[in-house]
Amino acid sequence: MTGHSQDQLQRFSFDHTSIRGELAHLNSTFQDVIRRHAYPRTIAIALGELMAATALLSASLKFPGRLTLQLRLTGNVTLLQAETDEKGRMRAIARYEEGADTDTLSLDDGQMVLTMEPENGQRYQGITAIEQGNVAKALEDYFEQSEQLASRFWLHCDGRVAAGLMLQKMPASQGVDPDADPDAWDRLGHLASTVKEDELLHLDNEDLLHRLYHEEAVRVYPSSALQFWCSCSKDRIGNALHQLGYDELQDILREQGSIAINCEFCQQAYSFDAAQIDELFPERTLQ
């Protein structure tokens, strides 16, 4: 076992079938998220699994833009959210009541919300119920209902690393005889479901694919990098402050002298003095 240390997304396919797969591994990308927050272990693990799912889905971002996967929940934890852009740059966040009981995290009665935001073009959003708290199942339901694609997902996180495995049956492509291997989907899915958490988290791609599929004709494609990256900037924070309104901001300035605010994703600190707040409201000086 050579171990898996790289943060990457690995595509593979099976010859003579229309079935493809993705493997995602998150090490430093996940650790960069959790070391910025003191997340309780249950939340960190659920967030890691959500990040692994989001990394798997990033393969379907064929355009510059952003894909966001949210779990909207009804208990003490209200939101888990992971994002990626088309370059595999990811960030994630959890929202919950400070001091709330987070020893157990229930995803029951929650909704999974998948949002695609192309830089140029129409925003798309799909909402799926999370049955029995199972995010992998919610993803399978989403692809079945919204994309008419049969899919299987396996997601794991041990609090330190996160990983995911996806299989997807694409529409029959040219050159593939759909009757050549009619059992392929069931067989390949069954083999994947023998994967153990420790194997998915810690084996490198080659060893894992060999372990699962040594009797299958697996084709492996160049991998792509995954990494932590936050898209926050002073301009974006300024836009958010602008929405609070001039009077509200003046109240804070009178009390505190300046306005200090941290990005909720990466904890980067931003500060605005009175002159910089005035600059956020150019419409006022034009009056």
Q: Is residue 218 close enough to count as binding Zn ion by CB under 5 A? A: no
Q: Are strands 227-228 and 89-96 parallel, antiparallel or unpaired?
A: parallel
| Residue 106 vs 268, nearer CB to Zn ion | 268
> What is the token pair recorded at 61?
């971002």
261 is a contact residue toward Zn ion (CB under 5 A): no
Contacting Zn ion (CB under 5 A), which of 39, 265, 270, 272?
265
- 274 makes contact with Zn ion (CB under 5 A): no
What separation in angstroms does the CA of 255 have from each of 142, 240, 249, 274, 284?
A: 48, 20, 10, 12, 22
Phi and psi at residue 234, to the nearest 5° = -60, -35
* Residue among 117 and 278 whose Cβ is closer to Zn ion: 117
3-state SS, residue 273: coil
Which residue lies nearer to Zn ion by CB, 28 or 268? 268
State how far the Cα of 37 lies from the Cα of 55, in Å rounded to an integer.
Answer: 20
- Does 270 participate in binding Zn ion (rule CB under 5 A)? no
Is 153 a binder of Zn ion (CB under 5 A)? no
User: Tokens for 161?
Assistant: 């690393």
Burial 203-233 (b: 16+ CB within 10 A, else e): bbbeebbeebbeebebeeeebeebebbbebe
220 binds Zn ion (CB under 5 A): no
| Binding residues for Zn ion, total number by CB under 5 A | 6
Nearer to Zn ion, 51 or 200 (CB): 51
Minimum CB–partner distance for residue 15 and Zn ion (Å): 43
Judged by CB under 5 A, the residue of 220, 232, 253, 274 near Zn ion is: 232
**Residue 259 near Zn ion by CB under 5 A:** no
Give least dist CB 89 to Zn ion, A.
12
DSSP 173: P
Binding site for Zn ion (CB under 5 A): 230, 232, 263, 265-266, 268
